[in-house]
Structures are given as C-alpha cells and as structure tokens.
Chains A and B, each alone.
Chain A
Amino acid sequence: MSILIKGARVIDPGHLDDICDVLVANGRIEAVQPADTMQVSQDDMTVIDGRKQWLTPGLIDLHVHFREPGQEYKETILTGSQAAAAGGFTAVCTMPNTDPVNDDPAVTGLILEKARQAGLVRIYPVAAISKGLKGEQLCEYGELKSAGAIGVSDDGKPVINSRLMRRAMEYASGFGLRVISHCEELNLAAAGSMHEGPRATRMGLPGIPSAAESTMVMRDIELSRLTGVPVHIAHVSAKESVEAIRAAKSQGVAVTAETAPHYFTLTDEAVEGYNTNAKMNPPLREEADRYAIRQALAQGVIDIIATDHAPHAILEKQVEFDRAANGIVGLETALSLGLKLVREQLLSAEVLIERMAAAPAKFLGIEYGIRTGLPADLTLIDPDRNFTVQTGAFKSKGRNTPFGGMELTGKTMMTMVDGKIVYSEKSDNKS
C-alpha cells in the first residue's frame, strides 16, 4: 500500500523548500515531485491533502525520560512513544536515569524490546557514562553499543570527577558513542530550587546560580579541546553557557548544544506563586538568558531543540516547592513553541526544522530527509492551527507543564515512521 501526500510545502533543510507531492511506498519515499506533476494510479493508495501544511523530515528529540524500567507510574515506553508521535516526533533518545539505570546491556535491550512492542517511534537509548550514575566507574561501552545504545550520559547528574569525564569521552569515542553532558557544578547548585537572582531572593527560595551550569560547560569544552572528542551540552539555560559555547565553536572545538522550549519561552517569572510545574533543573532563568538562548538558536550557536521531556506523577508536584520533583513534560508542546519562534520571525521555517529534525539526525548519524529512497519518517504540520493546551488530553502520563491552558498556534497533523502512520490528528479527534 502506498500513501500520497499532496500539495504540502515540503521543507527538507538544505535541499528543498517547495510545494510538492510526496509518494510513500514500502516504508520509503518513492517520489518527490512538484505539485500535480506525478503520474500515479490511485488504486490501493491513501491520499492525504497536504495543502497549507508543511511536510518535514520526522522531528527527532535527543532528550526524553520515558521512566521505564522502574517508574512506569510516571511514563512507559508506550505512552512516551504515543506522546512523541502526537508531538510530531519520529525518533527520541531516552536518557539512562531509569531504575535500574541503563548502565547494562540488558536494560538497553529491554528498552529496545519495549520500543519494538510499542511500534510507534524510533527509540535510540542513551546509556550511562558511569555505573549507577555514580561518577565512579565507566560502564561497558562496547557492550552497550552492541546492545543498541547510541551515546552515553549521566543525565540528571553531572560527572563531577573531571578525570573520569575525560576518560569517558576518550573511551566512548573508540566505540563511536556520542557523549552528552549534563552540566552542573553540584557544590554551587547546592540545595537550590530555582534560578538565583532577585526573584529567588524575594520568594525566599534557595537559588541555583547560572555559574553552576556555565563552569561545567567550560570544563567540558576544555576536555573536548584536550581529547579532540566531540561533546554535546544538554539543556543549555544560561547566557554564560551560550557565550562559552560560542567562543569554543569559533575556536574549532567540537562542541554541540541543545536547549529546550521552556528556556526560549519562559523566565523565572513562571515560578511565581510557587508553581511547581515551572520547576526544573537547570531552572528557568532571567529575560537576558531567554534572549541569549533565542539569539543562539537563530545563529546556530545552539544546534538543537530537545524537550527534556520529564514526566512526573501529580503527587510529586503537589507538594511544597522545595520538595517538588524537577522537570516538565515537553513532547506534546515543543513543536508549537518552536513554531512560535517562526511566527515571531526569529527563525525561518527551514531553520526550525533544522534545529528539530536535521541537526539531531546529523548528531545521531542517521539518514533523514525527503528524497527518493530514504526511509519515510515524516511529519505533517499545520502551522496555522490554533488550539489550547489541554493537559488532560496528553498522551503522556505526565501532566506537569507550565503551558497548560496556553493558546498556541501550529500543530502536528500526521506523523509517519517507516511509511506507517503512527499519529493522525483526524483520527485522534474522532476517538
């Protein structure tokens, strides 16, 4: 069976941006041609009207927490995959801070088996840098790679020991594993629960200074310079980190970076009223930081938008602010918040898709694009669709978002993985 997507604006960063018809058959892209020029027999074919919509390579999220194994009450690989598909993502990288930690090939294998059973989006597991995320002993990178891991990170925790981090980078490079760093100087972050600044002072909450992030970003840049091994900085939140990354890139250090939609959308103002749905690590910072993150996205200093999708149960958020869990869900709002940057003319449509699809694919070293012969991982987007964020309708088990009730414009209409439709807005609204 084949699928023809007609009349959409096809955006394949660096290759194509035009109104085209795209034919998908046997899981692959069969043909891409200017609109209405394709000669096809309509038998046994599904036709999707793509007019006034964008057809892009499938979005890829380098940073999600699917909580399985161990905390299935927060999220499972199935519900996480459903949320990803609904958000327009065709692939995600799951972080290793599950229970047990993904520091063992058996856990990597379990995640991939659950992903296969879910049969929705591609899952690329990120394994731990150190055994048990303890920062003491390297994991068996060769075994983890063979089991299907694509990279290593102790995400959720920093690697405090600089020598261990150096060895991790060197050892990982030998197996072709990517190194993703959660940058946080724990002694500086101490018991902080929001960004250190005037607002934290007024609210009487212990602060996390920006330097807790930027000093570690600088360390990892220096380790990359020392070893020659590329390093990827996760969830950049502070302007000082942006400046460090900018300087490193201009000096040819192989550093890449991601930020999350909340960092380019919100500031610590969202914490007012002790809103635990605006509590995450790193924390929401000030307007100058938000501005720097936005400029960095436009200029390519930050390469990638990732969600840091971190579902929690309500009981972990309906508590005193200091005791509340860190993190928010992001898969089902990321694209809309990214499209807001396009509407605000900060990014072109092509650059947004670069940040959310092309750059992560290049980072993972996987095939992507809308060209004949490539796997049909595609996202159909209506950039003008208005909707209200209803957390009750999320596919994710997590409802922890500061964006609930917000009016947004732009939505996923259809998500396709390997030529199979894994999300369709039409059938979603019927059910």
Chain B
Amino acid sequence: MKKDILDMDSLSVNEIHSILDMAVNMREISERPIKKVPTLRGKTVILFFYEPSTRTKLSFDIAAKRLSADSLSISGSMSSLVKGETLLDTAKNLEAMNPDIVILRHSYAGAPHFLARHLKASVINAGDGTHAHPTQALLDMVSVRQRKGSLEGLKVAIIGDIAHSRVARSNCVGFTKMGSQVTLAGPPTMIPQGIESLGVRVAPTVDDAIEGADAVMMLRIQKERQKDTLMSTEREYARYFGLNLKRLERAKPDVLVMHPGPMNRGVEIDPEVADGPYSIILDQVTNGVAVRMALLLLVSGGNRNVDSD
C-alpha cells in the first residue's frame, strides 16, 4: 500500500479491492462487545481539520481508537493557521512531533498533496476543497458491494451539485475504476466542464439518470449556491432535481439510495425516501468507520505488498 491516501486516481484497482476486503474484516470488530484491537498501539494519529466536520472526524477518531492508536485532533479555529502560520510551517511542526498518520481536511484542493510531499508520516485526505474525498468514496463502494456483491456492471446515478462535490468526483473515479457505469445529473450550472473526461455520462434529466439505476446517490445542496447564481430556489430544486418515491420508480426494483450527509430533507431528498426501505444511508455511516480502520491499518504497514498497477 502507498504511504498516502490522497485521491481515488492514485489508487490501483488491486489496492481498492484490498481496502474494501479489509473494511469487511474491520466491520466485524465494530460488532464485538469489546470493540478494540491492539493493532496500532503506540501509533499516533493526528486529525487535522481545517474545515468543520462532525461525522468524518468522529468516524476517523473512532476508527483510530478501535485500533488502539492515540488520536488527537486539531481544528481550524484552534490551529496556528488562524495566527498566520503557513501550512508548510504547520507541517514542519507536526513532523517534529513524529506522528505516524495525519488525517487532513482542508478547504483548498491539493492541500493534502502538499502536506504529503513535506511529511514522512502518512497523509490521509479527509476531503480537500472540491477535489477529492477518497474515504467517502471507499465507504460508498463498500456499502454498495455489501448489498450487490460486486461493483462490476452496476449503474450508479449521482445527482446534484457535481461542480462543488469532492464526494462526486471521488465516486466518479472510484466506481468507474471498479467497472460500474456512472451517470450524473443536475442543473447544468452544477455540472462542471469536461466532467465526462472521468469516464462518466451526463444525463439530460434526473429521470434519465435514474432510469434502471442500481444505486442513486443524492448530493447535499448548499443554500449558499443561490448566491452563486447556480440555482434559483430550494423549492424549484426539490421539484426538478430532488429524489422522491415517484421518481425512484424508474430505478431497478432493488435500487439503493445513498447520501453522504448531512441531508437537507425535503430539498434534495424526500424524508420518505431517506427513511424508506431502499435507503442505505446509515450503512454508509457504519461502513465509514470500517473503511477508515482499514486505511489506518494499511498505511501503517499492514499488507504493504499489494500491487500498485
């Protein structure tokens, strides 16, 4: 396995397979009465979150603790960045404390790549700007694979603000790499130029994208996008681009409904869909811990001999 997990582009098919397999093993640990193994005892994991996050940070923190690593977290507001320190200086200071793994969430694309170049410790990208969110994509893939057995040949629809979604980008790359067909839909203002170069199709309508889908992933709509002139109103968005039961009828009967959270109920997803029988939204959260445990273990030297093809 690589030193760093930065994006889905840099992971090989073999590496992805081994991460997904390892995650399945890790899930079992979380189901035990004593949810802790000593594997990473003595390792230091720093959770470095420049951007607010509840679920991802908690998920990484739980993952580290279940493997007996010492995890500490620094948030953007308490970090020295606020005091004018550059990311490079912060990196050098971190280095001096000899951490083993640094988990970085940052509002600028490429920040984890920058940190990885300057640190001996492993860097795991927990989301960088609108670029990548590889651990989210991996947990999405684990969740789908758990239900469908394989990702090969599946039709996956991703709906919403693709332009501002690192989740969408990482899933486009990841699912496509594993043999799924990814279709995107959303208002044209939210479809970034040249996204087809990731090997995905852009559907003219949401209905078209959902047609025959094995999995439908809805993306969070941020209210600020109204100011960016990317949409008119939430009301209109819900009507034309939101997921409701009627629209879902076009998908396969055993379709999976996903959402990376946090949801805007009634905007991009109807409550009856979010809480309905097709929803695997809470599985995603459970698998998030498992995937992050797998990654912590793999970058720490477990199974280093997986080929990078």
Contact = CB atoms under 8 A, between A and B. Distances in A.
Interface in A305-334: 315, 318-323
Most chain A beta-carbon contacts within 10 A, residue among B88, B110, B196: B110
B108 A322 contact: yes
A404 interface: no
Nearest to A209: B193
A315 B128 CA distance: 21
A203 B192 CA distance: 11
Interface in B178-199: 192-198
Interface in A187-214: 196-207, 209
A318 B88 contact: yes
Contacts of B196: 198
Nearest to B196: A198
A201 B195 contact: yes
A196 B131 contact: no
B191 to A, nearest CB: 9
B106 interface: yes
B113 interface: yes
Nearest to B163: A201
Contacts of B87: 319-320
A197 B194 contact: yes
B109 interface: yes
B193 A321 contact: no
A199 B113 CA distance: 16
B287 interface: no
Given A318-B88, A323-B108, A204 B129 contact: yes
B101 to A, nearest CB: 21
A321 B88 contact: no
B197 A198 contact: yes
Contacts of A200: 192-193
A320 B111 contact: yes
A203 B88 contact: no
A273 interface: yes
Contacts of A387: none
B114 A320 contact: yes
Contact of A205 (B88, B114, B129, B195): B129
Q: Size range of the interface on A?
A: 20 to 34
B114 A201 contact: no
Interface in B116-138: 128-132
A73 interface: no
A200 B195 CA distance: 10
A274 B193 contact: no
B86 interface: yes
Contacts of A320: 87, 106, 108, 110-111, 114
B113 A204 contact: no
Interface string A201-242: 111111101000000000000000000000000000000000
B86 A321 contact: no
B197 A201 contact: yes
Given A320-B87, A320-B114, A322-B129, A205 B194 contact: no
Interface string B82-106: 0000111000000000000000001
A209 B193 CA distance: 10
B88 A274 contact: no
A204 B193 contact: no
B169 interface: yes
A318 B87 CA distance: 9
B131 A205 contact: yes
A388 B48 CA distance: 40
Contacts of A323: 108
B166 interface: yes
Contacts of A315: 86
Interface in B182-228: 192-198
Contact of B113 (A197, A201, A202, A273): A273
23 contacts: A197-B193, A198-B193, A200-B193, A201-B195, A201-B197, A201-B198, A202-B194, A202-B197, A202-B198, A204-B110, A204-B128, A204-B166, A205-B129, A207-B192, A274-B110, A315-B86, A318-B86, A319-B114, A320-B111, A321-B108, A322-B109, A322-B129, A323-B108
Of all A-B residue pairs in the complex, the 3 with the closest CB atoms, nearest first, are A204-B131, A198-B194, A274-B110
